[in-house]
């Protein structure tokens, strides 16, 4: 195949034909702002760039289509775009991990965008994107509302680390995608390890070679539909029952790790905690092993399909609550669940059930305690501030939902940074609403996952998200995570608002 020549950020480049524009940018040209969140699905928007001034998703654009054209990435967009937008996003809390925001910036600031930005036009533009962290509202605020980008916030990183439960940087460069992700920072001489569907590693000098050898096939969305694998044997003794299904954590950055021979692995947790979805160390262990075996630096790059198949899910359950708040829960067998429920919910009885399906973990946000807290809240009238939940760490959250939107109150120790805490609370509300109403993946009776595209997870889009008001109460106690309590409280309030349907998500079949 003939090479492809095009202009990149004002300079002529020559790249091999036969790949996507995203592969050419990242693997040949060293561009890091365009992120691979779902390639080649073209559904998350993280790889958005400008082609002749128009926003394009690079992972589904053959590089041959930009021959002789002008391609601009965030690195070449200029200070009026990169600096200004990243500062605004940081000032509103519109960027947390920073993986999705470079593509969002490129979409909203595209030179050929028609007309000025309005709430409606921003929401429509964001239809091409997904964000797990922010709940959209703070991104919209950054696009529309004047903000004081000169404000100096103290303790922002500390609060972000508490909410994300891992290292989390807070600064304008993070919104530009410079959070230090393992998929961006690997040594230039690293070999690439790609996993086949059969579970074997294929190690080659380039990503293209490794993916070809592994036989990577694009995932599809299933027509199977959701299933709720566990039933309540007898509902007669309960005031209310609930069944949940398999839910994908849906973090945007696919797991990535790199390691030097004899060294310590970098990743998968680098900037942002994936809400408990990346706690396992198995990928780091594999990177160390492969680096030692090959006596070369190794980078492991999971595909979106890998993440769905291999990543931990919250355990499905069926549960019933009595009028006094006690109950019984039938839970997919998960390590640590028996001890946790005995300690945290002593009036509840646990029956663990063996159900075929993917790995489950209590590390996933609010697993088990959020569901049981919502059940307990459902048998009492809401307090003045709304449905109340207290997290295992002692944070209190209240949530109320009406026609005007979601109203949240949170008390979680020393606030440290209002903007960061507010952003995480809005993001938690977004996740909770999706969990109760729309989020789930199809898993068949043999335990095989069928929903492998990022749009099949049911994550709420910007146009679907109601306004969220956050009230933060002063508290002199040491700071604790508050957004997980908000997640559980909003789930309880959404369940009440929807009339207590017996299955989550209630709006999917």
> What are the sequence ranges of the domains in the chain?
1-151, 317-504
Handedness of CA 120, 125, 131, 134 (dihedral sign): negative
The Cα angle at residue 381 between residues 380 and 382, in degrees rounded to 5: 110
Q: How far apart are CA 121 and CA 342, in angstroms?
A: 50
Q: What is the pLDDT of residue 37?
A: 96
Token digits for 497? 């608002």
Tokens 């209190």 locate to 396
In the CATH scheme, what is the homologous superfamily, with its name and number, of domain 1-151? Beta-grasp domain (3.10.20.30)
Q: What is the pLDDT of residue 146?
A: 66
Taking only the tens place, the pLDDT of each residue in 14-65 is 999 999 999 999 999 999 999 999 999 999 999 999 999 999 999 999 999 9
Reduce the DSSP state of residue 377 to 3 states and report it.
Answer: helix
Q: What is the pLDDT of residue 216?
A: 79
Q: Are 452 and 308 in contact (CB under 8 A)?
A: yes
Q: Are 59 and 20 in contact (CB under 8 A)?
A: yes
Q: What is the pLDDT of residue 25?
A: 98
Which H or E run contains 87? helix 82-92
Q: In the chain, which residues have pLDDT < 50?
A: none
**Which of these, 342, 505, 449, 424, lies nearest to 163 by C-alpha position?**
424
**Which of these, 261, 268, 74, 250, lies nearest to 172 by C-alpha position?**
74
Q: What is the pLDDT of residue 115?
A: 72
DSSP per-residue string spanning 123-152 = HHHGGG---SSS-SHHHHHHHHS---TT--
Taking only the tens place, the pLDDT of each residue in 407-446 is 999 999 999 999 999 999 999 999 999 999 999 999 999 9
**Which of these, 120, 173, 168, 127, lies nearest to 143 by C-alpha position?**
120
- The whole-chain average pLDDT of the chain stands at 94
Cα Rg for the chain, rounded, in angstroms?
Answer: 23
Q: Are 140 and 462 in contact (CB under 8 A)?
A: yes
Q: What is the pLDDT of residue 413?
A: 98
* Percent above pLDDT 90 for the chain: 88
Instruction: Output the CATH code of domain 317-504.
Output: 3.30.365
pTM listed for this prediction: 0.96
Q: What is the pLDDT of residue 152?
A: 62
Whether the domain at 1-151 and the domain at 317-504 fall into the same CATH topology: no
Q: Are 467 and 404 in contact (CB under 8 A)?
A: yes
Token digits for 451? 């929903």
Tokens 């004081």 locate to 148
Q: How far apart are CA 326 and CA 345, in angstroms?
A: 8
Please report how many Cα atoms fall inside a 13 Å half-sphere around the Cα of residue 20, on the Cβ side.
Answer: 22
């Amino acid at each position: 195949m003939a090479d492809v020549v095009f202009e990149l950020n004002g300079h002529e480049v020559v790249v091999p034909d036969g790949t996507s524009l995203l592969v050419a940018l990242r693997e040949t040209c060293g561009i890091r702002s365009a992120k691979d969140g779902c390639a080649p699905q073209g559904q998350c928007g993280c790889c958005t760039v400008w082609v002749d001034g128009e926003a394009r998703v690079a992972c589904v654009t053959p590089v041959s289509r930009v021959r002789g054209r002008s391609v601009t990435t965030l690195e070449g967009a200029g200070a009026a775009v990169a600096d200004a937008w990243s500062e605004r996003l940081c000032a509103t809390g519109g960027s947390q991990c920073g993986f999705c925001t470079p593509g969002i910036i490129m979409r909203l600031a595209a030179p050929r965008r028609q007309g000025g930005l309005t709430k409606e036009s921003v929401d429509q533009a964001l239809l091409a994107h997904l964000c797990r962290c922010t709940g959209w509202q703070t991104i919209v605020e950054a696009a529309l509302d004047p903000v004081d980008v000169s404000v100096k916030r103290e303790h922002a990183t500390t609060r972000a680390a508490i909410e994300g439960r891992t290292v989390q940087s807070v600064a304008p460069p993070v919104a530009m995608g410079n959070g230090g992700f393992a998929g961006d920072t690997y040594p230039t001489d690293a070999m690439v390890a790609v996993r086949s569907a059969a579970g074997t590693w294929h190690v080659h000098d380039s990503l293209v070679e490794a993916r070809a050898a592994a036989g990577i096939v694009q995932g599809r969305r299933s027509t199977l539909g959701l299933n709720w694998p566990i039933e309540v044997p007898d509902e007669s003794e309960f005031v209310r029952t609930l069944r949940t299904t398999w839910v994908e954590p849906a973090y945007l950055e696919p797991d990535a790790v790199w390691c030097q021979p004899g060294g310590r692995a970098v990743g998968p947790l680098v900037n942002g905690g994936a809400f408990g979805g990346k706690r396992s160390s198995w990928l780091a262990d594999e990177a160390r092993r492969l680096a030692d075996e090959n006596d070369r630096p190794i980078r492991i790059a999971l595909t979106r399909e890998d993440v769905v198949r291999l990543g931990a899910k919250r355990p499905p359950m069926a549960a019933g609550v009595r009028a006094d708040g006690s109950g019984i829960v039938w839970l997919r067998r998960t390590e640590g669940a028996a001890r946790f429920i005995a300690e945290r919910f002593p009036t509840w009885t646990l029956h663990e059930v063996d159900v075929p399906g993917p790995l489950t973990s209590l590390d996933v946000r609010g697993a088990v305690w959020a569901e049981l807290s919502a059940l307990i809240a459902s048998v009492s009238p809401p307090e003045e501030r709304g449905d109340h939940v207290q997290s295992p760490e002692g944070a209190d959250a209240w949530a109320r939902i009406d026609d005007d939107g979601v109203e949240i109150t949170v008390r979680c120790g020393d606030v440290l940074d209002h903007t960061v805490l507010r952003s995480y609370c809005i993001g938690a509300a977004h996740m909770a609403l999706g969990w109760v109403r729309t989020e789930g993946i199809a898993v068949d009776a043999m335990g095989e996952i069928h929903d492998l595209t990022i749009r099949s997870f049911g994550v709420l889009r910007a146009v679907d998200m109601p306004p969220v008001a956050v009230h933060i109460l002063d508290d002199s106690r040491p700071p604790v995570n508050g957004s997980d309590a908000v997640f559980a409280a909003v789930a309880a309030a959404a369940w009440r608002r929807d009339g207590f349907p017996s299955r989550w998500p209630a709006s999917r079949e």
